[in-house]
Amino acid sequence: MLLELRIGQLGLVDELVLPVDQGLTMLTGETGAGKSMIAGALSLLCGGRVPKDLVREGEDIGWVEAVFDLGDSPLRTAEIRRAGIRLGEDSVLVLRRELRREGRSRVMINGLLSSLPVLERIGPTLLSIQSQHQQLTLSRAGFARDYLDEALQLEDLRIAMRNAWSDWGEACTELERFEDDMRAAGEQADLWRYQHDELKSAGLDPEEEQSLSERLAVLQDIARLRQAAALALSLVADDRAAGELLGKASSSLPHTETPIRALEEARSALLDAQEYANQAAAQLERFLDSLDLDGGSLDELQERKALYEDMRRKYSRSIPELISYLELLSHRLELHNSAETGLTSRRDAVEEAKTRVEYTAAQLGAARRSGVTEVSRRALEIIRPLALADLELAFVIAHQDDPTSKFVQAGRSVAVDSRGADLVTLEVKTNKGEAQRDVTAVASGGERSRIYLGLTALVRGNLEPPLLLLDEIDAGLGLDAARPVARLLRTLAGEGQVLCITHLPTMAVHGRRHRRAVKNEVAGRTILDVQRVEDEDRVLELERLLGGEDRDSDAHSRRAFARELLKEAEAGR
């Protein structure tokens, strides 16, 4: 709960300390007394915009500070901690916003420098401000859907929907990025594939290239080579040829009882020479035999030889390097082809995420439809007594068809976002015989204000309610019409805190506490003060609200009416 509000050097405020009590507190005062400064100060602590020239004339810095005790607010305490703010053992939280005439404002939380985004996050969990213009919230896109979900306490499904939507978006982004990468790599892969196919079809082999050179040399001089090889073979292998003569020479050397070293070495050399001569003869025979085989025409061999030369020149690599490059291309293409599998898996991920979005949206929609009638009924029970006896109200749920949407609900392509697939509108009829239409098109400003107040009352008990400040929410109401509004406010306060700024005595009497804003002149300057109003002073303030002055002839009757109103309100508690 809010323990104390402190304001310094803002507007008409020099320095003001306003204790805030449990339950319903009424704040009254003459027009222009500065009551709305209280609402403005609390708005600043929710991250609200700073009005121009708000800092008091002659001062460089103005400030607003609120002290909260969160000891009995575990949910709110958890939210504060999630925002990265540490609380002491006393569970006290102090929010402070300093405004400078020149330069940027500053946010302090528990004495430590913080930021406006943090204040914007935690301020609304502690303070809720509703002015006579707050009914504009009813026209905010998505208000009816958000309100219905809050009334039905569908936060878990809302979180699941947001997560599903986020996962789908991330999956689509990943797929798009991967497809872009694939397209960028596609041209390079085409080149790799062309080079790979060309080199593979070439069938390059370093040994073949050497063989080609030899075979071409043979074909170009085959007659002379055959004649020379045949002559050499005859000299080595025919009768009385070198091999036979070497064998006879070796046999002619005598064997002695005592081996003679020189003769043995000569015999060994002759035998080796005979062996070499026999090997040479065999090689010459094989060579002559190969000349008789069909090794391809001269043109074919020349074409094959030219292919090797072209490949070396085109790729600026040797044949062994080209063979290694072919292996590299095979590896690259294998990786590229595997990317197709990655593309498939990412497309599958998008489809899975899409299915989860559709499933979660259907769950959320079903939960809304199952509870919408009851929410509409309960809202009517609260709002009709607020001078809206003929009000008809309903939350209407529908799908928005979208032929371009990827998402399907109930067999139709519909628009979907992070809050589901449903369009929810608040439709009302304020007078008999009228058509039921969107609340912003039918209800007047005052009617929308009371409708919004009733809706606030319906959901206020769902969680730990923040302090609710109502700034002249009763504008446009008569004395009698204000009574049910006041009783609703008293119910709203319950065990929480409601601070209501009002001009109506039939509202003011229902406050558990009553405070009055007054302007005093000190040292030639006007200063706002907020005073506690009790006992006879409260009667006098109610009389003023009824429109009377002491010198008025009807003052006595108005004062008596004020006492009667207080007695009536006390009896109703």
Quick one: tokens of 368? 């809304």
Report the pLDDT value the prediction gives residue 409, as an integer from 0 to 100: 92
Residue whose pair of structure tokens reads 């943090």 in the numeric block: 118
DSSP 411-456: TEEB--BTTBSEEEEEEEE-STTPPPEEHHHHS-HHHHHHHHHHHH
Question: CA-CA distance, 498 to 380, in Å (whole number)?
Answer: 22
Pairing of strands 392-399, 106-109: unpaired
Report the pLDDT value the prediction gives residue 477, as an integer from 0 to 100: 75
Is the whole model's pTM more than 0.75, yes or no? no
CA 535 centroid distance within chain:
56
Report the pLDDT value the prediction gives residue 270, as an integer from 0 to 100: 79
Q: In what order do the strands lie in the sheet with 112-113?
A: 13-19, 2-10, 61-69, 92-100, 106-109, 112-113
Give whole-number Cα distances, 477 to 299, 387, 482, 570, in Å. Answer: 111, 9, 6, 22
Residue whose pair of structure tokens reads 């609900």 in the numeric block: 409
Question: CA-CA distance, 430 to 446, in Å (whole number)?
Answer: 12
Give whole-number Cα distances, 95 to 59, 111, 119, 448, 509, in Å. Answer: 21, 8, 8, 32, 31
Quick one: tokens of 560? 């008596």
Question: What's the one-letter identity of residue 98?
Answer: E
Helix (H, G, I), strand (E, B) or coil at 169: helix
Question: CA-CA distance, 198 to 192, in Å (whole number)?
Answer: 10
Closest CA to 500 of 76, 72, 21: 21
Q: Tens of pLDDT along the chain (573 residues)?
A: 899 999 999 988 888 999 988 889 999 988 877 788 888 888 899 888 888 888 888 888 999 999 999 988 888 888 888 888 988 889 999 999 999 988 788 999 999 999 999 999 898 888 888 775 555 677 788 889 999 999 999 999 999 999 999 999 999 999 998 887 777 667 677 888 888 899 999 998 888 888 887 777 766 666 566 667 677 777 777 655 677 777 777 777 777 777 778 877 887 887 888 788 888 888 877 877 776 544 456 778 788 888 988 998 999 999 899 999 899 888 778 767 777 777 888 899 999 999 999 999 999 999 999 999 999 999 999 899 888 889 999 999 999 899 999 999 988 999 999 999 999 999 999 888 888 999 888 888 778 888 888 888 888 765 567 888 888 777 777 788 788 888 888 888 876 889 999 988 988 999 999 999 998 888 778 888 899 999 999 999 999 888 865 555 577 888 899 899 998 888 876
Report the pLDDT value the prediction gives residue 110, as an integer from 0 to 100: 92
Question: CA-CA distance, 481 to 229, in Å (whole number)?
Answer: 132
Report the pLDDT value the prediction gives residue 293, as an integer from 0 to 100: 47
Report the pLDDT value the prediction gives residue 2, as an integer from 0 to 100: 92
Report the pLDDT value the prediction gives residue 222, as an integer from 0 to 100: 64
What is the helix, strand, coil percentage profile of the chain, to 5? 55, 20, 25
> Could you give the count of Cα atoms lying within 13 Å of 86 in the half-sphere of its Cβ?
5
Question: What's the one-letter identity of residue 219?
Answer: L
Question: CA-CA distance, 472 to 225, in Å (whole number)?
Answer: 121
Question: CA-CA distance, 59 to 504, in Å (whole number)?
Answer: 35
